[in-house]
Amino acid sequence: MWVQLLYVLSPALAEVSTNSTWVAVLEFQSSQNTTFEDTNTLLHRLSNRARQTTLETLPHTQYSILTKDNMLEIMTDNGVDLSCSDNSCAISMGRSVGADWVLMGEMIEYSERLIAVELQLYDTLSGTLLGMTEVRNKTIEGALQDIDASIQTLMTSAQSRIPQHTVHTPLETILISKNTSFTMGCTETKWKQLVTPMLPVFPPEQIHCTDNTSPSSQVKIQAGYEITKHTVTTSEWNKTVSALSADKSLSLVPTHHWATDLSAYPIHTVTWLEAVSFANSRSILDNYTACYTIEGATVNLIEDCTGWRLPTEAEWELAMRGHQLHQVAWTGPIGHAWNIPISKGGPVCQKLGNDIGLCDITDNGWEWVWDWYAPYTSSEKIDPTGPKQGSHKVIRNGRHRNSHSANLAPEEHAIGFRLLRHLEP
């Protein structure tokens, strides 16, 4: 929708097709607190040189370059600062101005004679790093020439890496209303009410909330969302991975074990990093914007994404509790649960779901969520996302809460995941 508002650096591009790829070159930033009076002038010079080289490198019939004035106008209208110093910000900025690609530059070293500049090119839809390069220990004129060569290499390489979109079977989801409050965690009274009828399976001395499921707290989830009806299945995983011809980071999994067809079984033994990578991949295939930037083991959430992501633990528990908020999430009525260890399971949706239609709310495998693992607190919370850092991620099941290493392949548990997507306000 931004295409009608944008201008380009060359009048020759005025006739460009609306199907062209829009490229934004953000204002270069400096990572050092320099005292030289000409720092800003140099950054503007580098930025403008990068835009001009980008314009001259890419085919005019397929690509259009946003001017600084255009970006400033759009961002001012939206009340957002045009400067960026990290990848998540740059991707969000690119999306805000309607760009398909965004190039950011950072001056990482600076003296009166020598400079060093880092360039990063991202695809805004997928959040993928298309290329990165550095220009080091150069005079200003030498750096400008090397930036020209580096941008030409980045853009030429990126043209062969445009993500391919594929039409395929949509994920089945359940809608969760916005502005919903609930009691998160285990409460002694409710736990005893639910478990007592199942005695002597649970001896009386075991009827209590565990340390990692209490204390309970009042939680409010403000945004509405859709969450997959069941965990991602082996079939859904393989179909998505097969459609990603240019992405080799995810692998197909076996669909049979001896005589058992695993197609409708939950995907398991998936690492947390593979789960968030799958969420990005599925977003791209469904023509949504990806929700994560992933660089090695570092994952950052892009706030304004429209695509799939892992639910937070609070979003997960709210969905599992359904409308009858007290009846599920820590246990469930007879007929809802698999009567087998949670490290094993069966095909999805073979047991009763909760009152809003979510399947396998108890005991068909562990599920990854977004949060780092930490003990609960009793304070009231709004849209909690867990600790800012940690060593283990939360894994959930209707009856249990546990943790597992995020970046190592699970060895003791079958771990799968559901996907969630925010609804438009």
Q: What residue segments make up the domains of the chain, in order of their start?
A: 3-158, 173-422
| Side chain identity, residue 170 | P
Question: Can you tell me the distance from the alpha carbon of 343 to that of 411, in angstroms, rounded to the nearest whole number?
Answer: 10
Mean pLDDT of 166-182: 83
Mean pLDDT of 239-264: 77
What pLDDT does residue 5 have? 27
What pLDDT does residue 272 have? 94
Q: Looking at the domain covering 173-422, what would its CATH class be?
A: alpha beta
pLDDT top residue among 68 and 337: 68
Read off the pTM: 0.68
Question: Can you tell me the distance from the alpha carbon of 424 to that of 178, in angstroms, rounded to the nearest whole number?
Answer: 11
What pLDDT does residue 139 have? 81
| Radius of gyration of the CA atoms of the chain, in A | 25
pLDDT reading at 79 higher than 70: no
Contact 360, 324 (CB under 8 A): no
In tens, the pLDDT along 380-408 reads: 999 999 999 998 999 998 767 888 888 76
Contact 398, 329 (CB under 8 A): yes
Q: Which helix (H) or strand (E) holds 278?
A: helix 272-285
pLDDT reading at 344 higher than 80: no
Mapped to the 3 state alphabet, what secondary structure does 173-229 carry?
Answer: EEEECCCEEEEECCCHHHHHHHHHHHCCCCCHHHCCCCHHHCCCEEEEECCCEEEEC
User: Per-residue confidence at 224, pLDDT binned at 50, 70, 90?
Assistant: very high
**DSSP secondary structure letter of residue 267:** P
Q: How many CB atoms lie within 10 A of CB 379?
A: 10
Q: What is the CATH number assigned to the segment(s) 3-158?
A: 3.40.50.10070
Contact 147, 53 (CB under 8 A): yes
308, 301, 330, 311: which is closest to 388 by C-alpha?
301
Question: Can you tell me the distance from the alpha carbon of 133 to that of 121, in angstroms, rounded to the nearest whole number?
Answer: 9
CA angle 112, 131, 93 (to 5 degrees): 80
Q: How many residues does the chain have?
A: 425
What pLDDT does residue 306 have? 92
pLDDT reading at 265 higher than 50: yes
Same CATH topology for 3-158 and 173-422? no
Mean pLDDT of 30-46: 73
Mean pLDDT of 261-288: 89
Question: Can you tell me the distance from the alpha carbon of 376 to that of 394, in angstroms, rounded to the nearest whole number?
Answer: 12
pLDDT reading at 204 higher than 60: no
What pLDDT does residue 414 have? 74
Share of the chain above pLDDT 90, in %: 24
pLDDT reading at 352 higher than 90: no
